[in-house]
Amino acid sequence: MELFIILGVCYVIYKLLSNSKSKSTYKSQNTVKMSSPKVTRSVSSNNLSDDKNDDLVTFTISFGHEEEKSTNSTVGRWIPANESIDILGKKCKGNFYYGGVLKAVDTDRSYYGNQETEASLVDDTLKIELADSFFSDDSLGYWPKFISLSPKARGAYLDWLSSTRTHPETPVGYVFIYFYGIERRVTYDAIKYDVSDTEYSSLYQEVIRLKDIYGDSRSFFNYASRLIEFMCLQRPELCKLDSSNLSYANDSLLFKYELANVVSSGKPISAQLALSWIKFYPEYRFKTPARRCDKEFSELFKLRYKEKYGEGFIVKPNKTKLNISYRPASSTLNTINFNQSDLPDPSMLKGPTNKLVAIADLCSIELEPYSRYLGKKDSKSSDIEAVLLLPDELLERSSLSVITNFKNWANSIIDGNSGLVSVNDFWKQIDNRLPDKLNKKQIELIQNITSKSGFGIAPDPRYHHAKPDIEGKLVLFREGHGDYFQPTKSFYEVGMTLRLGAMVAGIDSEVDGNEIAVLRKIIEHDIKLSPVEKNSLKAYLTWRLNSPANMNGLKARLGSLDEQTKSLISHILISVALADGKIEPNEIKQLEKLYTVLGLDKALVTSDIHNISSSRIITNPATPTEKSTSPNNSFVLDEELLALHELETDAAQSMLGAIFVEEEIVQEEDAPSPPPSNLIGLDTKHTNLYQTLIAKDMWSRNEVMEFCQTLGLMIDGAIETINDWSYDIADAPVLDDNDDIYVDLEIVEELKG
């Protein structure tokens, strides 16, 4: 009985092996985007005693075209780069295997797997139809092999092989077949046979070249990057790769090896190695700014790491030993393990990686505004609006000519014209079309470019309570207001005085130098003003003297002052008018208007002029000629001019600040529509897809494709539709299609309204 059972089991195994002749071994290669293999099921009714009654179920897996049976008995050989052969009239330079017999490298997969033909072997005895290298059909399926291609696809591959092999639009399946040959040469032949250093170096450069041309394919980018790293580990004296050039799209052999060596030697983790560590750490998922702004993130991460840890922190060797292996792209090659049991593997240690995660999160937060801008349609990293959103350290290190040119231009304006410039000329420096009017965003752009470049402007609506006009002027001054500027009470008091004084000085349409001197002395004389406030007020005075006067918001506020304050202000106005040594009729007329606004009797103007001018003649006797020509004798600030700054009553001080504030500035930009409280703007299908995706922040592309198929949607169109809707509401995309599909949960919160 036992013997019968044993014989029965053996028979079942025999039947399974016999059926395996029509099967193909599956090798996982997740990053290659191809259609799923077809699975067919066949049932036969055989039993152990009668082949016709066997109840076995067999599954046949088909990957497209079967291998054509070759009659070519020529042993396949490697054609070196300096040799060319003619195939059906196509002159093909080397770096490929040619012949009829070259088996897959021995593996432990199965007997049948070891009988496969080398994927890259070019056999010209097979059926071949010449075709353009851009031709493609379904024979370029999972892990394409030359022997499994259709006759026309073989012809297309030969067409590419006879070309310069540089056209980026070539179907990547052909590039992979070529790559498989190089991969076998450097992973198998170079170990088992003799491959010269010269040829090895040449193949290393060839893989780099292929990666540069065809790296837009994520799968090819990953496999080419890993082969480059393998070659660096295999022959480090020939192949060099700086850690800053490591691939971050997949695992890295070199990173783990370098990290293990640094930790083993007791050296600190450098900023570059720390960056590689966080990028290869599988348990950390990068936020949108880090993915979208990879270059800026890398630079900022290294800066922040050095700020916190200097030359780097030291990690103690752990007990886990390093185990790295090379998984080939070709299905006819086997995995190669590197024996590094003498080195630790600290790559998954929680303590060090938690430190790096904290820095990475901080950098993502700092880059969020810049990232949001780049997420907009038609935006570029070179846009001045984008550049100004960079953290200051990156902006300072940036060699962007727009900032450098602006600094040079601003300094020349300050040196040559006291900082005075038209808004039109200012706008030309940031290479933008002159708008019809300045809205809030455009004024913020003016503020940002000046402050980021180390300058300030007047008027600055944040401090001067006035805004520039598109047809008006601006005044630039060095150093600016700084990040933490808070105007004091004296700043507003003097600002009010300058505004009124500039109105009087400009009555006769010609501002006298002595009038300017009087107003500047008001700034210099106030010991309560900080140097930054004085620089700002000087620029503000220059702007007021070169801009049309207006009385916006003054009437109501001036009319509310007490009599003492009104009297002091009236004396300041007359003092400024007298600064040039004469009073014209039109000045008297304007002073009368201002007196009326102050709530004073305009008849007082004449008597005040007489009293103040008489007081000066007695206090500072000088001839009329001296008055009009000598700035030293023209006017000395008297006590009543400065008394305004010494009023300490709460009512007076609050009014002084209020006088300086113009009527509230109405922003002229078109306000965006408020975000909807529900998904208005999306149809039912896209709403359902969106609601499904926001459950987490990352989905594989295949998962999203399945969701779309159930809803009758195409994945690319669905993502574009949802992002267009997101742009309309939040001015940024909510989905990031980067092989995997990332969901920006911060934008999701904005979209909730």
The stretches of 471-530 forming alpha helices (DSSP H) are 489-505, 513-525
**What is the pLDDT, as a whole number, of residue 552?**
65
Residue 249 in contact with residue 286, Cβ under 8 Å?
no
Distance of CA 160 to the CA centre of its chain: 36
Which distant-in-sequence residues (6+ apart) come within 8 Å of 612 by Cβ? 571, 574, 575, 578
**What is the pLDDT, as a whole number, of residue 626?**
40
Whether the ω angle into residue 631 lies within 30 degrees of 0, i.e. cis, is: no
Residue 386 in contact with residue 372, Cβ under 8 Å?
no
**Tokens matching residue 622:** 């000088």
Neighbours of 594 (CB within 10 A): 22
Length of the chain: 753
pLDDT in tens, 11-47: 445 444 444 333 333 333 333 222 223 322 233 333 3
pLDDT in tens, 200-214: 999 999 999 999 999
Exposure letters 560-585 (e unless 16+ CB within 10 A, then b): ebeeebbbbbbbbbbbbbbbbbebee
Q: Which of 646, 651, 744 is nearest to 697 (CA)?
A: 744
**What is the pLDDT, as a whole number, of residue 361?**
96
Q: Which of 474, 328, 432 is nearest to 29 (CA)?
A: 328
3-state helix, strand, coil in the chain (%, to 5): 50, 10, 40
**Mean pLDDT on 278-305:** 93
Please, what is the average pLDDT of the chain? 79
- Most confident among 48-52, 396-400, 627-631 (mean pLDDT): 396-400
* pLDDT of 539 over the 80 cut: yes
* pLDDT of 730 over the 80 cut: no
Distance CA 44, CA 54 (A): 6
CA distance to 18, 19, 574, 611, 636, per residue, from 620 (Å):
123, 120, 17, 14, 8
Distance CA 751, CA 734 (A): 9
Distance of CA 58 to the CA centre of its chain: 53
**What is the pLDDT, as a whole number, of residue 720?**
85
Distance of CA 672 to the CA centre of its chain: 24
CA distance to 93, 122, 125, 405, per residue, from 74 (Å):
20, 11, 10, 68
Distance CA 138, CA 149 (A): 9
**What is the pLDDT, as a whole number, of residue 109?**
53
Q: Which of 462, 693, 501, 487 is nearest to 579 (CA)?
A: 501
pLDDT in tens, 94-149: 999 999 999 999 655 544 455 789 999 999 999 999 999 999 999 998 789 999 99
Q: Coil, strand or helix: which one is 474? A: strand
More confident residue, 583 or 553: 583
More confident residue, 739 or 625: 739
pLDDT in tens, 651-669: 444 445 555 554 444 344 4
CA distance to 64, 169, 239, per residue, from 175 (Å):
19, 11, 22
Q: Which of 245, 258, 244, 233 is nearest to 325 (CA)?
A: 233
pLDDT in tens, 253-285: 899 999 999 999 999 999 999 999 999 999 999
**Tokens matching residue 626:** 């001296």
pLDDT in tens, 659-715: 555 444 434 444 444 433 347 788 889 999 999 999 888 888 888 988 998 888 988
Helix axes 440-452, 401-417, angle to 10 degrees: 90
**What is the pLDDT, as a whole number, of residue 108?**
56
**Tokens matching residue 340:** 């590094």
- Look at the pTM and tell me if it is higher than 0.85: no
Residue 458 in contact with residue 478, Cβ under 8 Å?
no
**What is the pLDDT, as a whole number, of residue 20?**
39
**What is the pLDDT, as a whole number, of residue 560?**
60
Distance CA 730, CA 280 (A): 32
**Tokens matching residue 77:** 């050989």
Which distant-in-sequence residues (6+ apart) come within 8 Å of 728 by Cβ? 681
**What is the pLDDT, as a whole number, of residue 696?**
87
Q: In what order do the strands lie in the sheet with 735-738?
A: 698-699, 740-743, 735-738
**Mean pLDDT on 143-163:** 96
Q: Give me Rg for the CA atoms of the chain.
A: 40
Distance CA 278, CA 290 (A): 11
Report the greatest alpha carbon distance in the chain.
142
Residue 250 in contact with residue 216, Cβ under 8 Å?
no
